């Protein structure tokens, strides 16, 4: 384990379902990130939170809704997804916005059917 824990590890959902991905870090970091990793594409940054405040939204569709209740927890709420949203969703955290101690979780493999 890297210190950043993501659940579930795998998720299969229908296009009309609502589900949530969870990320938890016990590293004392203040910044948390959501990334999407699709096959044969570079890692795509989705959202950035610093001290629970969202600092970046990289033009992500509204069917992805992040939530950061505190510096240790980050959620990604999913609803009415499309099959092309199937990907590996990675959470990461860092000590601060300088990027020190950047650590990734193991990811959630999402399949939308």
Binding residues for another protein (CB under 8 A): 2, 4, 40-45, 48, 56, 88, 90, 97-99, 102-107, 109
Smaller CB separation from another protein, 58 or 82: 58
Smaller CB separation from another protein, 80 or 101: 101
Q: How far apart are CA 4 and CA 52, in angstroms?
A: 16
For 53, counting Cβ atoms within 10 Å of its Cβ (0-12 exposed, 13-18 middle, 19+ buried), the class is exposed
- DSSP letter at 105? -
Smaller CB separation from another protein, 4 or 81: 4
């Amino acid at each position: 384990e890297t210190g950043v824990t993501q659940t579930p590890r795998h998720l299969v959902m229908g296009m009309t379902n609502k589900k949530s991905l969870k990320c938890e870090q016990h590293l004392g970091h203040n910044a948390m990130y959501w990334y999407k990793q699709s096959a044969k594409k570079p890692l795509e940054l989705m959202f950035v939170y610093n001290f629970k405040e969202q600092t970046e939204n990289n033009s992500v569709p509204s069917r992805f809704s992040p939530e950061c209740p505190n510096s240790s927890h980050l959620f990604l709420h999913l609803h009415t997804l499309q099959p092309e949203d199937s990907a590996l969703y990675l959470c990461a955290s860092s000590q601060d916005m300088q990027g020190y101690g950047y650590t990734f979780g193991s990811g959630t493999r999402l399949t939308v059917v």
